[in-house]
Amino acid sequence: MFFLVDKELRMRYMTPDQSSGAWTTVTASDVSFFDADGEVGTGGYVYATFTIDGQYNCRVARFALSGNWVNEANIHAATVIDPKPSIAAASGGTVSVAFLFGDTNEQVRIKRSTNYGSSWTASAQVGNNSGGYDLGEPCIAYTHESTATGWIFLTYGTPSSDNLGFHYTTNGGTSWAYGTTFSGSGDLNLPNIRTHKTGAWATLAFNEDPGDSTMYAWALGSSPTNFTTPARVNDYNATGNWPAAAGWVGNESAVLYTNWNSNYRLCFDWYGNTANEEETSASLTGIAQITSSPNPFTDMTTINFSVTGTDPVSISIYNVSGRLVKTVVDSEFFSNGDHSVQWAGVDSNGAPVVPGVYFCRLNTGSSVLSSRMVMVR
């Protein structure tokens, strides 16, 4: 996870079993914008691209296996406008940064490395923006099969509307072609695209107004222009100010977004989930907090929660695919204050569950709060 702390860009990382972790500083500069991605399989690097406050330069660094950020470099200077860089890593050492360049005729340009970010090619233009559109923030992603299919999504703005379009590559960014422009009922903007780290699939999320809708679609690397028909994923109105985060839960598309009419709480939903999203706000009606201990656990964990209202409480366990595993508490009433229940790592039939990631969901009827738990054996 990446954070801006007093404008320093920092990362929090954990061991695979989440038993330990550490903070590390990417850069102590005054960061104004950043993006990050990870490579899997051959190198295991994490990459970050960022801009410095008051400068129109693209910078990049990589997280070495020794636990330090190295190779920080200014890969493109004087972009004339705020470049809003986006970074993506494929397998085999390919990593690219897409950014905006130019003032009178904005362009999308790309810097590319084929040696895990040790050195970078000269920047290349992606498309010519012959229509003279006002370009929005680009977002780039690569699949992780050998062909390294990739996409760059961005907004093409006019005085009357915002349209969403993309470029794609099937050779790891060596060459790019224009895909298509998405259609919708209003302005389409704030795209975010992420790929499955072990497969050849991509999830796209974007904002659509009017309606404050968070839309999502997905495509296969083998058919890079064949995205599914976009569908609204959010149950609550999105802010329209910050891009939703696209991703995956197991093999299902997932989206994280902010809700504008409830103190900007963070909401999460995924394909196939029929319940309300997970919400991380600690001030939701009826629930003050939720934790579990130990976490990770082997055989038994205690779920601790606080009740602040009078609604009945349900406690359920879900796996990463969003399927119900076990109902621990079913619409019971609790007095205001702290309470705890235990889960012995079994499903509704009493059979032991397999080790992995689970979500404990507390539902009061008017609000929902979830906590992530890890079972290890």
Whole-angstrom distance, CA of residue 331 vs CA of residue 320: 23
The list of the chain residues with pLDDT below 70 reads 16-18, 41-43, 66, 261-264, 272-289, 320-322, 365-368
The per-residue pLDDT for range 26-46, each reduced to its tens digit, is: 998 899 999 999 887 666 789
Q: Which residues contact residue 69 at a Cβ distance below 8 angstroms, ignoring those fewer than 6 apart?
A: 24, 25, 26, 27, 48, 61, 62, 63
Q: Choose among 293, 285, 347: nearest CA to 319.
A: 347
Q: How many Å separate Cα 77 from the centre of its chain? A: 27
Give me the chain's average pLDDT, please. Answer: 85
Output the 3-class SS for 124-182: EEECCCCCCCEECCCEEEECCCCCCCEEEEEEEECCCCEEEEEEEECCCCCCCEEEEEE
Q: Which residues pair with 297 in a beta bridge?
A: 375
> What confidence score (pLDDT) does residue 345 get?
93
The per-residue pLDDT for range 66-78, each reduced to its tens digit, is: 678 988 899 998 8
> What confidence score (pLDDT) does residue 365 get?
62
> What confidence score (pLDDT) does residue 107 get?
93
What are the Cα distances from residue 36, in Å, to 27, 53, 90, 187, 262? 13, 18, 13, 27, 28
Class of domain 289-375 (CATH, top level):
mainly beta
Size of the chain in residues: 377
Sheet-wide strand order for 8-14: 2-5, 8-14, 21-27
Neighbouring CB atoms inside 10 A of 245's CB total 16
Q: Which residues pair with 371 in a beta bridge?
A: 360
> Where does 2-278 sit in CATH, by number?
2.120.10.10
> What confidence score (pLDDT) does residue 176 get?
96
Which residues in 50-60 are b (16+ Cβ under 10 Å) and which e? Answer: bbbeebbbbbb
Burial of residue 100 (CB within 10 Å: 0-12, 13-18, 19+) is buried
> What confidence score (pLDDT) does residue 311 get?
78
> What confidence score (pLDDT) does residue 366 get?
59
- Domain 2-278 and domain 289-375 have a common topology: no
Q: Which residues contact residue 131 at a Cβ distance below 8 angstroms, ignoring those fewer than 6 apart?
A: 156
- What letter represents residue 177's amino acid? A
Question: How wide is the angle at C-alpha 68 spanned by C-alphas 65 and 69, nearest 5°?
Answer: 105
Asked whether the whole model's pTM tops 0.85, one would answer no
Question: How wide is the angle at C-alpha 17 spanned by C-alphas 67 and 7, nearest 5°?
Answer: 45
Q: Choose among 367, 355, 360: nearest CA to 340.
A: 360
Give domain limits for the chain: 2-278, 289-375
Q: Which residues contact residue 99 at a Cβ distance below 8 angstroms, ignoring those fewer than 6 apart?
A: 58, 76, 79, 83, 84, 85, 86, 108, 109, 110, 111, 138
